[in-house]
Amino acid sequence: MHIIYQSLDLFFMVFHSSLVVFNLFGWIWKKTRLANLITLGLTGASWTLLGIFYGPGYCPLTDWHFRILGHLGKTNLPNSYMRYLVQRLFHADFPATLVDRATLIAFLIALLLSLFFNLRKRFIRIMCI
C-alpha cells in the first residue's frame, strides 16, 4: 500500500504543481487562454465558495494530497499548498503570511491578464460600436 501512496504523492506533486504553473502563465498562449481562464475561475471559486464551508483558500487537491502525505507519515503540514511546495522543493521556510500574500497577488495578476487577453477583442468591438 505504501507504494500506492508514494505514487499518488508523485502524481499530485506533478499535477498540482503543473496546474499552478498553468494558472500563472496559461494566458500567454492564444490556444490556452480560455482553458486558463476556466482553471483560474475554478481555483478562485474553490478558494472562495468552498472556502465558506472548509475555510478560506480551500483547495480539494491540497486536501487530497495532504491526506496522502498523512498516510505516508508526514505531519505538521502547512496550511497552504504553496508553502508546502516551497518547503519541499527549496527547503525554505518562509512565513505563511508572506507565501499567502504572494500567492494571492500572483493569482490576481494572472487573473487580470487572462481576463484582458480573453476579453479584449470583445471589449474593443463594443467600444467601436
Q: What is the pLDDT of residues 73-114, one digit of tens each?
A: 999 999 999 999 999 999 999 999 999 999 999 999 999 999
- Give me the residue label for grid cell 507504494: 3
User: pLDDT digit string (tens) for 30-41?
Assistant: 999 999 999 999
pTM of the model: 0.90
Report how far residue 1's alpha carbon sits from residue 103's, in angstroms, rounded to the nearest whole number. Answer: 34
Q: Cell numbers 500563472 label which residue?
A: 24
Closest among 64, 65, 60 to 49, alpha carbons compared: 60
